Chain A
Amino acid sequence: MHTAENSKYAKTHEWAYMDNGVVTVGISEYAQQEIGDIVFVDLPKIGTAVTAGQNCCVIESVKSASEIYAPVSGEIVEVNEAVNADPALVNRAAHGDGWLFKIKAAKPEEYDVLLDLKTYKETLDK
């Protein structure tokens, strides 16, 4: 199961956790705090092909819309329907049940170059 510690990070505040070639994606605890009350998540469609760095999901809070970028290339194979019914789940459990979507990685090496938690946290202090 993904946790803050065993996940990798994009500088754009997504976390990624790879298991059997499938990468689960969510937003970091830092990101959910910055975004505030999440009221709607526009999830990608299953079957969509995405490339690393591509905007593929929108998170709406009361005050703003935030674009979520695919941390790796591949195909969207699953989305978290639970956040459709309860978008605030992303606020409450950003690293757990509030995950967003899963990508079947086309280039697993893209996962390897993502940041570890320590390095990601260092980018926040800058």
Chain B
Amino acid sequence: MNPENTENLKKTPLCAACLEAGGKMVDFHGWFLPVQFDSILAEHKAVREAAGMFDVSHMGQIWVEGKDTWKFLQYVNTNIIKRTQFKGTYSHIVDEKGHIIDDAISFALSPEKYLVVVNAACIDKDVAWFHKNAAGFSVKITNDSDNWGMIALQGPKAIEYAAALIPGVQDMARFTIKKIELFGAEGYVTRTGYTGEDGVEVMLPPRAIVHLWDELKAAGVKPCGLGARDVLRLEAGYLLNGVDATGTQSPYEANCGWVVKLDKDYFIGQDALSAQKVKGYRQRLTGFVLTAPGVPREGCKIFKDGKEVGRVTSGTFSPLFKGIAMGYADTDLPEDATVEIEIHGRLIPAKKVKTPFYQNRV
């Protein structure tokens, strides 16, 4: 990308390290981030077979503190937020209509202090939403996103690499958080990720995160970019907010009904979601695998017997499954239905499948 166009882009603490590692940089929601280093396919393979690391410093960290912390998080989330110390809960944040604003993980550091990790493109929106809905709750909401660098270390060997630098990581359960001290700085490690593999995400202040990147790179962990990350998350069936949910779909429509707990105490969007659950909905985020060569992309139309039944929101070439896609398709489309996806003016046969496309033991 043209250097003169990058001045207005936000840089992460790992920007220089990514450039040094040969990162091909792009504008990702206003962030200057690597889409790939040497090859997306090689990076994908590293994460599925060994370990890879991603600069995810653009992600947001929001602190919620105070005596009503848990009650407040319950109110703004569709899922039941776990109270057990160090546990994290994946949930959707929805508006009064039940439409997804963001998906986020809330980690319990203490009954009165949670760390909420949110999508980069949604930080300002989420913070504003939290403030707007905090009336009546004794909570303090702090956007701490600019103070943290973050590395996602992912793959079957990720824990081995992480444990060599961060003792105790190997004993952490999935979806837990741990406070750490590394390279003279304090930070957090969570046993989470967005690739369908085991791994950790490490949050540290800028200087320490660069140190961690260098150490992992020296140990042989492959730097990976947004391109590989998108293939990995799509294979794992993970939603990309802003692409697979665009502010007009509910968690049910996004095929994430499991994050909606209608019978918990009142939460924003509960009425709308209760009504939708009874009434039903026309389309749901659905997985498709092409049965002939081709690569489906965002916007491709999906046809069944000549009638349009949906649109692709995310599509890619998967080294494991070839052409794969997720898209909103009519809910009455039967399991294993044969459809056609229009790619560059040609109808390519595909089959409806259950997501995730790829399932590891994690």
Contact = CB atoms under 8 A, between A and B. Distances in A.
Given A36-B39, A39-B317, A42-B344, A62 B294 contact: no
Contact of B40 (A40, A58, A60, A63): A63
A63 B39 CA distance: 11
A63 B227 contact: yes
A84 to B, nearest CB: 8
Given A37-B41, A40-B294, A40-B295, A62 B344 contact: no
Contacts of B295: 39-40, 60, 65
B192 interface: no
Interface string B39-58: 11100100000000000000
Interface in B16-42: 35-36, 39-41
B316 interface: yes
A40 B318 CA distance: 12
A58 B227 contact: no
Q: Indicate the member of A40, A58, A62, A65 with the most B CB atoms within 10 Å.
A: A62
Given A42-B344, A62-B231, A62-B317, A37 B39 contact: yes
Interface residues of A, number: 12
Contacts of A58: 344
A79 to B, nearest CB: 14
A39 B35 CA distance: 17
Query: Secondary structure at chain A's binding surface: helix, strand, loop or mixed?
Result: strand
Contact of A36 (B36, B293, B344, B346): B36
Given A39-B317, A42-B344, A62 B297 contact: no
A65 B231 contact: no
Given A62-B227, A65-B297, A40 B344 contact: no
Interface string B222-241: 00000100110000000000
A107 B41 CA distance: 40
Q: Indicate the member of B36, B40, B294, B295 with the most A CB atoms within 10 Å.
A: B295
Contacts of A63: 35-36, 40, 227, 230, 316
Nearest to A67: B344
A40 B317 contact: yes
A37 B37 CA distance: 12
Nearest to A42: B344
Contacts of B40: 36-37, 61-63
A19 to B, nearest CB: 30
Q: Indicate the member of B227, B297, B317 with the most A CB atoms within 10 Å.
A: B317
Contacts of A60: 294-295, 317
A63 to B, nearest CB: 5
A62 B293 contact: no
Interface of B: 35-36, 39-41, 44, 227, 230-231, 293-295, 297, 316-317, 323, 344, 346
18 contacts: A36-B36, A39-B295, A39-B317, A40-B293, A40-B295, A40-B317, A42-B294, A42-B344, A58-B344, A60-B295, A61-B40, A62-B316, A62-B317, A63-B35, A63-B40, A63-B230, A63-B316, A84-B293
Given A63-B40, A65-B344, 16 more contacts: A36-B39, A36-B40, A36-B227, A37-B39, A37-B40, A39-B41, A40-B323, A42-B344, A42-B346, A58-B344, A60-B295, A61-B317, A62-B40, A62-B317, A65-B295, A84-B293
